[in-house]
């Protein structure tokens, strides 16, 4: 079966999908302001006519390509394509300015690919046993785990757990719109037949992530207009050497470990991974004073962790069906569009597809290395595209993506509503990550809650026979108390600083 799955991932269609995804991801990642989640949100409508394997491989390739591409703008522009590459800019830009832009880019690329491949291997070896254990879970355990994940994400993806909880609860509220699964009656649809299937995920994702981000970017243009990229020239001494490679290998391994650990925990995201890895690399370095001045180890630490987070975030997704971040949440949506339930059931019902996806992920890493190595000059040119040119084009594709699905005016109005919501959430620090994850997992949460209530016939004591469910309920309460305390303590510290 595994051999057939690998063959499936090596068909021409799959290779075109994966290669196309990585290439598109690279191009989008290089453009500052266009993040991984924006890229996936815009690309989901393109995957409708693809087979499930090609569609998912395309989106995972896109995600990987974006992470690697964002390093290019961080190094050449000092303007990271996304927040997780900000640590890369600390050493990448000074190294590029010192006349070694190609070396900086190659160090970033090698670290990205190594971190990505190693984390993918860890994913393959961890997710399957994880899913086997999860298959033994019943609705009580799944409902408790989902509630715990939501609280965890709410507390960690933003600074304020109360705002995170409010955002998550709003996501749950909107996720319940549509036909009630038990009664078959419309729920919270306000009489609109278009809402019978629920609020369209594509409109929510594109509005909250992509369109709102374009409005945020256009607001920034008021102060930041032109960007100056470091020029990439052919120089004999400007390339990665064996001594550099030998120095960065331990850093890459450490960064991969940190990125994998952070990625596997829901809610933390790649930024935490890359900064944590950078800090640890500086601490372990024999020359910590060189960090921030063009140290290749700094680039390797940040990039390896950033890229390791992507496969690692799929561990809870494939193992439990819980998305650890926005990109994983969007993948759940993409799976759902193709009629596939992601999580432990995927291992039971469609193991070939799961193994093919894993094989596709390794192929995507190889594409990433080839495209990155030979396309450096081309991608470096893309950094010269001014941001004001990108915004109207992305907005156009956002509208086009909605119309491709045939949602018409209603879809566009919903899109604008969620763009405004996403903009306000970003502006007022309400976690849009929690909102989106909650919105996407609500049907699963509600289903498991309903099954638990029906099976228990309203008897809470049945939980006493369910130690795993009790454990996660206790974890949820502990996380709520601890993260609540952290938020309250944080605000007191801010007030003290403001008063002094």
Residues 148-187 contacting other proteins, CB under 8 A: 160, 162-163, 165-166, 168-170, 172-173, 176, 180, 182-183, 185-187
Nearest Cα neighbor of 412 from 245, 261, 206, 147 is 206
Among 42-50, 51-59, 107-115, 350-358, the segment contacting other proteins (CB under 8 A): 42-50
Closest CB to other proteins among 49 and 242? 49
Among 138-146, 198-206, 361-369, 488-496, the segment contacting other proteins (CB under 8 A): 488-496
Closest CB to other proteins among 373 and 396? 396
Q: Which of residues 44-73 bind other proteins (CB under 8 A)?
A: 46, 48-49
Nearest Cα neighbor of 139 from 430, 472, 440 is 472
Based on the shown chain and the rule CB under 8 A, indicate whether residue 488 belongs to the binding site for other proteins. Answer: yes
Closest CB to other proteins among 345 and 412? 412
Q: Structure tokens of 166?
A: 């409010």
Q: Which of residues 212-271 bind other proteins (CB under 8 A)?
A: 214-215, 218-219, 221-222, 225
Q: How far is the CB of 289 from other proteins (least distance, A)?
A: 35
DSSP 8-state secondary structure symbol assigned to residue 46:
G
Q: How far is the CB of 352 from other proteins (least distance, A)?
A: 24
Query: Maximum distance among all alpha carbons in the chain?
Result: 75
Closest CB to other proteins among 2 and 424? 424
Q: How far is the CB of 50 from other proteins (least distance, A)?
A: 10
Q: How far is the CB of 461 from other proteins (least distance, A)?
A: 17
178: left (phi over 0), alpha (psi -120 to 50) or beta: left
By CB under 8 A, name the one of 193, 461, 499, 500 that touches other proteins: 499
Q: How far is the CB of 372 from other proteins (least distance, A)?
A: 24
**268 three-class SS:** coil
By CB under 8 A, name the one of 83, 395, 462, 475 that touches other proteins: 395
406: left (phi over 0), alpha (psi -120 to 50) or beta: left
Cα-only R_g, the chain: 22
Beta bridge partners of 178: 187
Q: What letters, b where the CB count within 10 A reaches 16 and e where it falls short, cover 96-127? A: beeebbbbbbbbbbbbbbbbbbbbbbbbbebb
Q: How far is the CB of 495 from other proteins (least distance, A)?
A: 5
Q: How far is the CB of 258 from other proteins (least distance, A)?
A: 31
Q: How far is the CB of 126 from other proteins (least distance, A)?
A: 32
Based on the shown chain and the rule CB under 8 A, indicate whether residue 412 belongs to the binding site for other proteins. Answer: yes
**187 three-class SS:** strand
Q: How far is the CB of 219 from other proteins (least distance, A)?
A: 5
By CB under 8 A, name the one of 148, 397, 435, 472 that touches other proteins: 397
Closest CB to other proteins among 229 and 301? 229
Closest CB to other proteins among 131 and 391? 391
| Residue-by-residue DSSP string for 74-95 | HHHHS--SSGGGHHHHHHHHHH
DSSP 8-state secondary structure symbol assigned to residue 185:
-
- Round to whole Å and give the CA distance between 305 and 108: 11
Nearest Cα neighbor of 330 from 205, 432, 245 is 205
Closest CB to other proteins among 261 and 410? 410
Q: What letters, b where the CB count within 10 A reaches 16 and e where it falls short, cover 446-461? A: bebbeebeeeeeeeee
By CB under 8 A, name the one of 1, 12, 190, 461 that touches other proteins: 190
Q: How far is the CB of 282 from other proteins (least distance, A)?
A: 30
Do the Cβ atoms of 82 and 35 come closer than 8 Å?
yes
Nearest Cα neighbor of 267 from 328, 222, 180, 330 is 328
**178 three-class SS:** strand
Annotate each residue in 424-463 with x if it binds other proteins (CB under 8 A) or - if it does not, as one string. x--xxxx-----------x--xx--xx--xx--xx-----
Based on the shown chain and the rule CB under 8 A, indicate whether residue 135 belongs to the binding site for other proteins. Answer: no
């Amino acid at each position: 079966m595994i051999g057939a799955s690998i063959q499936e991932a090596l068909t021409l269609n799959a290779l075109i999908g994966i290669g196309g995804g990585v290439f598109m991801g690279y191009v989008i990642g290089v453009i500052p302001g266009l993040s991984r989640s924006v890229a996936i949100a815009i690309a989901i409508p393109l995957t409708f006519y693809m087979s499930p394997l090609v569609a998912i491989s395309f989106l995972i390739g896109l995600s990987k390509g974006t992470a690697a591409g964002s390093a290019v703008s961080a190094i050449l522009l000092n303007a990271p394509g996304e927040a997780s590459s900000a640590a890369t800019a600390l050493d990448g830009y000074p190294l590029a300015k010192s006349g070694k832009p190609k070396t900086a880019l190659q160090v970033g690329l090698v670290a990205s690919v190594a971190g990505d491949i190693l984390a993918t291997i860890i994913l393959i070896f961890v997710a399957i046993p994880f899913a086997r254990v999860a298959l033994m879970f019943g609705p009580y355990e799944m409902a408790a785990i989902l509630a715990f994940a939501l609280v965890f994400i709410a507390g960690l993806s933003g600074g304020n757990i109360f705002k995170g909880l409010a955002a998550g609860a709003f996501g749950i509220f909107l996720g319940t719109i549509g036909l009630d699964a038990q009664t078959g009656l419309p729920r919270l649809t306000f009489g609109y037949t278009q809402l019978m299937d629920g609020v369209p995920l594509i409109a929510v994702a594109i509005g909250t992530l992509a369109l709102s981000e374009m409005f945020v970017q256009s607001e920034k243009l008021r102060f930041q207009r032109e960007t100056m990229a470091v020029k990439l020239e052919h120089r004999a001494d400007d390339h990665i050497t064996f001594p550099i490679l030998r120095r960065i290998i331990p850093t890459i391994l450490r960064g991969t470990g940190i990125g994998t650990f952070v990625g596997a925990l829901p809610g933390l995201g790649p930024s935490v991974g890359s900064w944590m890895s950078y800090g640890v690399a500086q601490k372990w370095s024999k020359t910590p004073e060189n960090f921030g001045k063009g140290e290749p180890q700094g680039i390797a630490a940040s990039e390896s962790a950033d890229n390791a987070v992507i496969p690692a975030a799929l561990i809870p997704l494939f193992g439990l069906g819980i998305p650890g971040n926005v990109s994983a949440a969007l993948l759940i949506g993409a799976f759902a569009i193709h009629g596939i339930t992601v999580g432990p059931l995927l291992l039971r019902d469609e193991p070939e597809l799961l193994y093919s996806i894993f094989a596709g992920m390794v192929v995507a890493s190889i594409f990433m290395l080839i495209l990155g190595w030979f396309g450096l000059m081309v991608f470096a040119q893309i950094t010269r595209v001014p941001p004001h040119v990108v915004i109207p084009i992305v907005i156009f594709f956002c509208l086009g993506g909605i119309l491709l699905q045939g949602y018409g005016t209603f879809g566009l109005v919903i899109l604008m509503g969620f763009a405004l919501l996403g903009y306000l959430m970003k502006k007022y620090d309400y976690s849009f990550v929690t909102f989106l994850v909650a919105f996407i997992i609500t049907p699963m949460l509600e289903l498991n809650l309903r099954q638990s209530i029906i099976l228990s016939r309203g008897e809470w004591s049945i939980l006493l026979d369910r130690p795993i469910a009790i454990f996660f309920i206790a974890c949820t309460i502990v996380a709520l108390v601890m993260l609540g305390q952290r938020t309250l303590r944080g605000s007191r510290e801010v007030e003290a600083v403001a008063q002094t």
